[in-house]
Structure 1
Amino acid sequence: MKPIRSIFASLPAGFIYSVIVLAAMSGCGTSQANQSGGPQVASLPVLKVSTLPATTYREFSATLEGRVNVEIRPQVEGILDKIFVDEGAYVKAGQPLFKINDRIYSEQLSNARATLLAAKANLEKAQVEVDRITPLVNNNVVSDVQLKTAQSTYQAAKAAVAQAEAQVGNANINVGYTLISAPVSGYIGRIPYKTGALVGRSEPQPLTLLSDVNEVYAYFSMSEADFLKFKNQTSGNSIAEKVKQLPPVELQLADKSIYTEKGRIETMEGQFDKTMGAISFRASFPNPQGLLRSGNTGKIRIPEQFAQAIVIPTEATFELQDKVMVFVVADSNKVSGIPITIAGKSGNYYFVEKGVKPGQRIVYSGLDRLRDGAVIAPQQISLDSLLKVKPL
């Protein structure tokens, strides 16, 4: 056997250098591991799951319409002579809105009246003829055929008078249609036509849209799952009774503010929309200040009361494959991710239906550094301290 020195002497110098470097690195790593005493344990805040009485809201997108929305359309064709109102103005029922040139219809009325006068004159003439022939027939001077002819002429003249009267009435109606008045009180919408425009019943656009918004309707839809939940959780023997039992609802406007007046859900459609898989409801809101207008959008918020709800901060959750998860801390301080079912949300807090139980511990923050099976050094915090900073 060769001595160790002779063996090293026969090796290349580069190889010997590499061995020395590797040995030094191994020694350093062993030294550092010994100094640290093993892998580092993360120190993270931990929250004990607890219950609180709470109110949460189910939210549904809604569109608003006035209680009455009337398309103002002309009933006769003609030149738009006058526009008495401006867009956005509030008008009362019966107030004039538009005037169509009535010259043609006034002439038609005059012609109908002249026709009526002529028909009445013919009727009087026919009556005179009947009165003249009747005694002659009674005295057998002339044949009764002449009387029957005179009577037929009288009946025809009478029918002509009735027809002429109808023509006068129709002409009067057309003249009346040239002045368009508000059928209800409300706000004027956009007016696409200007003075001098030719308007008529065949035009695709109405003259304007008149909205009565003293009360507004909010239309929203529930999915089949939400509808079944409503049906199962609301008391009542019929759907109509269940709708009446629903509490007053809130309206969240487009700027996230809550409308000051509460509303009531009044009606629902009789069947589901097959294409959408949803069924529509209608809620009614008073609008005494006229703040809401047709075409507004928002969200209907239906409140749900919880006597004792499991409350978890949203910061203590994370999403994985469309599931909301939390890290639960076991007695050995080992964490495991479990999914939870959300019953509702209020601000920065979730109300949990199932997944965790009161008394369990969950990691509050630092979730991005955790994996299933990791061991942590828990730092206990209380839900009360969080509620003081971020209330429900």
Structure 2
Amino acid sequence: MFARAPLKFWFPIVLTVSFVAGVDVRAQQAAQPKPPPPAVTVVTLKPKTVTLTRELPGRTTPFLVAEVRPQVSGIVERLLFSEGKMVKAGQPLYQLDDATYRADLNSAKASLTRAQARIEAARLTAKRSAELVKINAVSRQEDEDATAALRQAEADVKVAQAAVDSAEVVFKRARITAPIQGRIGKSSVTQGALVTANQTAPLATIQQLDPIYVDLTQSSAEILQIRKEVAAGNLASTADVSAAILLEDGTEYPHRGRLAFSEVTVDPSTGSTAIRMIVPNPKDLLLPGMYVRAVVSTGQRHNALLAPQQGITRDPKGNASALVVNAEGKVEARKVKVSRAVGDKWLVEDGLAAGDRVIVEGVMKVKPDMPVQATEAGAAPPAAAAPVASDQAK
């Protein structure tokens, strides 16, 4: 059997082996290559002219509205239209009992005939009197009376003619016609109903829907802000006064509206002003009272910077920031100020400049001052860099 060696004999050997093993591990770690910089995708900001828009809520209203009311009294004999259909201006709608008005017209015509007969007799009398007064066969007074009688007969004819015209108007009003062209609604009366002249309740309502109005509202604060930006030169007015119309389901209406007028008074109860637009409506797709939104141009911003929304982050307080790649290829954090969304981008007011490369992909794997490998969005990714070995491995 071998004698057990004392502990002091093995201790130097263990230290030597441990030292050699440690040196070998450090050499292997030094020989491992450094990882390449993380790859990120960037978008280089370029100034451009942007047309700024605003969505305004509104309601549709008819272009023309006419409430049909009788101008004479009578019993409704017939309805001459189909409810819900298109009617033309002057088209008969209701026929009232016109027997009384027909009799009045005939009486007026008879009075006119009688007056015309009297004027003929007065004319002959005045003519004879004018001849006789020349030879002193009648007095001058009698001649003047004959002339006056002729003038009175002529006036009676005019009065009778006016009575005929008036009776004719009343007689024609027994047939109620459409005052405008448009779509007529339901009738509030039926055959046999008694209607009175200028009654409060309309018999029916006609609405012209092509074109149609869209009444929008815009807050006075927005109007004031736009005017301030125009005055400061930050916003240029545009000649485009048309607007896209968005329906209740979010789809865009196929026809654009044009500005009709803008109200000059602010409603004190709502703090907003009214804007009216005219929109073509050939297929009656827009109906009165529908809720719509109009995308209205508020002006143009020259040299505007638009940053992709995925490149802008916000902290819990809502402050916006962005990560950019500087000229040294390192990440730099920027506090930015954005005002509104333009499509899928933010309109930058402060914090970024033209030429800045904003990181849009790979934001979560980088931090400030870290070197990165940037690729422009839409460009082909660069070839992977070969691992770099440390000099300590040599």
TM over 0.5: yes
Letter in 2 for 1:343: R
| 3-state SS in 2 of match to 1:293 | coil
2:346 match: 351
Equivalent residue for 1:142?
Answer: 138
Where do residues 291-310 of structure 1 align in structure 2 (5 Å cutoff)? 291-303=285-297, 308-310=305-307
Measured in 1, the distance between the counterparts of 2:278 and 2:137 equals 82
Match 2:251 to one of 253, 257, 260: 257
| Deviation by residue 1:86-122 (Cα, 9 ceiling, x = unmatched) | 3321123333222222122111111111111222222
Q: Please say which structure displays the higher CA radius of gyration.
A: 2
Q: Is 1:71 matched with 2:104?
A: no
Distance 2:230 2:283 in 1: 33
Provide Cα deviations, 1:106-158, integer angstroms capped at 9, x if missing partner: 11111111111222222223223223322222211221111111211221121
Structure 2 segments unaligned to the other structure (5+ residues): 1-39, 232-236, 325-330, 368-373, 378-394
Going from structure 1 to structure 2, the CA distance change for 1:247 and 1:168 (only over 3 Å counts) comes to closer
Sequence identity of aligned pairs in percent? 25
Q: 1:290 aligns with which of 258, 271, 284?
A: 284
Secondary structure at the counterpart of residue 309 of structure 2: strand
Shift of 1:159: 0.8
Kindly indicate whether residue 289 of structure 2 is the aligned counterpart of residue 280 of structure 1: no
Q: Secondary structure of the equivalent of 2:319? A: strand
1:247, distance to aligned residue in structure 2 (A): 5.2
1:342 corresponds to which residue? 339
Instruction: Rate the CA distance shift 1:89–1:363 in 2: closer, same or farther, 3 A.
Output: same
CA offsets 1:200-248 (integer angstroms, 9 cap, x no match) = 343223222222223222222333333345557789xxxxxx67x1253
Name the CA distance, whole Å, in 2 between partners of 1:201 and 1:339. 70
Q: Is the 8 A contact 1:327 1:362 kept in 2?
A: no
Residue matched to 1:267: 261
Worse-superposed segment, 220-229 or 168-177: 220-229
Give 1:206's aligned residue: 202
SS in 2 for 1:249: strand
CA distance in 1, matches of 2:156, 2:314: 87
Which residue pairs with 1:226 in the alignment?
Answer: 222
- Cα distance in 2 for partners of 1:200, 1:317 equals 69
Equivalents in 2 of 1:352, 1:311: separation in Å? 9
TM (normalized to structure 1)? 0.65
RMSD over aligned Cα, in angstroms?
Answer: 4.1
Q: Which amino acid aligns with 1:188?
A: I
2:321/2:336 contact within 8 Å kept: no
Q: Find the counterpart in structure 2 of residue 16 from structure 1.
A: none
Aligned residue pairs, count: 310
| Alignment partner of 1:104 is 2:97 | no
| Alpha-carbon distance in structure 2 between the residues aligned to 1:66 and 1:298 | 14
**Would the alpha carbon gap of residues 122 and 273 (structure 1) be closer, same or farther in structure 2, given more than 3 Å must change?**
farther
CA contact (8 A) 2:306 2:345 kept: no
Say if 2:123 is the partner of 1:127. Answer: yes
Counterpart CA distance in 1 for 2:64 and 2:107 is: 39
The equivalent of 2:14 in structure 1 is none
Q: CA deviation at 1:292?
A: 1.6
CA offsets per residue over residues 274-318 of structure 1, 9 Å max, x none? 535444333222222221223333111125777642343699569
Query: Aligned partner of 2:87: which letter?
Result: V
Q: Is the contact made by 2:311 and 2:358 (CA closer than 8 Å) also made in structure 1?
A: no
Higher mean C-alpha displacement, 106-115 vs 248-257 = 248-257
Conserved? CA contact 1:93–1:183, under 8 Å? yes
